[in-house]
Amino acid sequence: MADKIVLSGLYRYPVKSLRGQSCERLMLGPRGPLHDREWMVVDGEGRFLTQRQLPRMALVDTELSDESLVLRAPGMPELQIPRKAGGERLPVQVWSDRCEAEAVGPAADTWLSEFLDTDCRLVHFPENAVRQVDPAYARLGEQVGFADGFPLLLISEGSLELLNRKLPEPVEMRRFRPNLVVAGCEPHAEDSWRRIRIGDITLRVVKPCSRCPIPGIDPETGERRGQVLETLMGYRRGEDNKLYFGQNVLHDAEGELAVGSPVEVLE
């Protein structure tokens, strides 16, 4: 079975908790996919904001060009933000991690505050900043950007297919916001993997991903819809009462991943 597993999807999310992009190829840098969670929306105290608090974030499209980050949302003019930030430095918080960010500018702050109906700011991860991955799971020097805790999230198509068989109406993989999607294995086979190779890059599967309310939000409407979390509660609840779906992954090298590449389970 292992020789039939393939990488079937690649995704990056330039702005934490806004819409992401499907990619045929994706470069991995020190912090994971290049430009993944490179920007983030924060409140007045510098605390990260996500769809957990602001479901309307699901409606904001992101696009990266060579020069700009482009934001689009219903009823709003398109906003182009220069890729080179370099604004004032300010402290921000992602869960319990404190790190440094660059202010993007008042135009972005005003645009997002108006659409999300709350005072907020857009910040950028500085090129020279380092946020260490939790050393309980990572080696010293392994980094992550503004993602919750790990540079990569992997889910198998089989896991989603099993969930959809249990749901009254099926949902798309994008509700779970993975970076890596694999096909050709049994549902939740990824739970038993410890080390895999995709193309020339080896990766370590280090921690199951506990799920927050975001998979319960319809990415088309920004509203809570379906029985995703209630259904997962029936068969994916851990002893700690958390819901687990997908696996957090660390990469051992930088390089390019491509859809269609074979996935080899090494351990």
The pLDDT assigned to 2 comes to 45
- What pLDDT score does 209 carry? 98
User: What is the residue whose two structure tokens read 């080696």?
Assistant: 139
Band the pLDDT of 60: cuts 50, 70, 90.
Answer: very high
For 90, the token pair is 């300010």
For residue 72, give the nearest of 42, 112, 33, 43 by alpha carbon.
112
| Mean pLDDT of the 69-97 span | 94
- Residue 31's φ and ψ, nearest 5 degrees, are -100, 15
**Amino acid identity, position 123:** V
Q: Determine the pLDDT at residue 85.
A: 67
| CA pair distance 182, 260, nearest whole angstrom | 9
pLDDT grade, residue 3 (50/70/90)? Answer: low
Instruction: Answer for the pair 198, 257: CB distance below 8 angstroms, yes or no.
Output: yes
CA distances from 221 to 37, 59, 190 (A): 22, 7, 30
d(C-alpha 111, C-alpha 120), whole Å: 10
Res. 241: pLDDT tops 50: yes
The structural domains of the chain, with segments of one domain joined by +, span 2-265
- What's the confidence (pLDDT) of residue 6? 98
Domain 2-265 carries which CATH code? 2.40.33.20
Reported as a pLDDT band with limits 50, 70 and 90, residue 1 is very low
CB 177 within 8 A of CB 17: no
Pairing relation of β-strands 195-198 and 223-224? unpaired
Q: Which two tokens stand for residue 141?
A: 């020097």
Q: How far is Cα 90 from Cα 100, in angstroms, rounded to an integer?
A: 6
CB 19 within 8 A of CB 248: no
Average pLDDT of span 157-176: 97
Compute how many other C-beta atoms are within 10 angstroms of the C-beta atom of residue 259.
Answer: 15
The token duo for 14 is 């330039």
Query: Which positions ≥6 away from 157 have C-beta within 8 Å?
Result: 8, 173, 181, 182, 183
pLDDT tens profile 102-147: 999 999 999 999 999 999 999 999 999 999 999 999 999 999 999 9
Number of Cβ within a 10 Å radius of residue 24: 10
In DSSP notation, 73-99 reads: -TTS--EEEES-----EEEEEETTEEE
- The pLDDT score that the predictor gives to residue 134 is 97
pTM, full prediction: 0.96
Q: For residues 12-18, give the mean pLDDT.
A: 98
pLDDT at 86: 74
Q: Name residue 249's beta-bridge partners.
A: 152, 205
User: 177-234, pLDDT tens digit by residue?
Assistant: 999 999 999 999 999 999 999 999 999 999 999 999 999 999 999 999 999 999 999 9
CA distance linking residue 244 with residue 233, whole number of Å: 9
pLDDT cut 90: percent of the chain above it: 96
Q: What share of the chain is helix, strand, coil (3-state, %, to 5)?
A: 20, 40, 45
